[in-house]
Structures are given as structure tokens and as C-alpha cells.
Amino acid sequence: MAFIDDQLILFKQRIEEAIVSKGSEGKTSVIRSSGLIQLIHDAIKYELILQGISPNNIFPKLYETKPEINLAGFFKQKKQDICAKRKAARLEQL
């Protein structure tokens, strides 16, 4: 089974457990927490590594949530949940 499949099973289990234990309030709480989305982020990072991206070039690292890299667009800057750099570069601000 692929890593993403394992992560999605955990995602489903966490939602079900929250509903069983605390009903609608539990479901809302688990959805608003960062835990569910982190499962998906880790699956994406894992796949990037399988595709040949060095783990040293992925931010935040696999299974971590910080540091997020601040990227600038045309109108604004935003911290990115997942960023893969071409080369390991020195990070001035994290």
C-alpha cells in the first residue's frame, strides 16, 4: 500500500474517532486542528522524496511543521506549508 493510502486511512480514523467520542463538536475540533492536514502534507513530502528531491531541500522536513519558507508573489508574501527548493540554500529568515 502506498504511503498516501496509509495517511488517508489515519485521516478517516481520526475523524471517525472524534465523531464517536464527541459528536459534531469533536468532528469540528479535529477538522480545525492541524493534525489532519499534516497527514496529507507528510504524504506529499514523502512522494517528493521518492521522486528524487533531497530531503534536505524540503521545508518543513518530513514529519515536521516548522520552519515554513516565506515565498513572495506579485502582491504578497506567504509562508508555504510545503516548499521544495532546487538546491539546499542558506536560509536567512525562517
Domain spans, the chain: 3-84
User: Does residue 76 carry a pLDDT above 80?
Assistant: yes
**What are the C-alpha distances in Å from 27 to residues 11, 16, 30, 70?**
12, 8, 5, 31
Cα separation, 40 vs 8, in Å, equals 8
Q: pLDDT-based confidence at 92, cuts 50/70/90? A: low
Q: How many CB atoms lie within 10 A of CB 90?
A: 4
> For position 85, what pLDDT does the model report?
87
DSSP-assigned letter for residue 51: T
> For position 88, what pLDDT does the model report?
52
> For position 29, what pLDDT does the model report?
94
Q: How many CB atoms lie within 10 A of CB 43?
A: 20
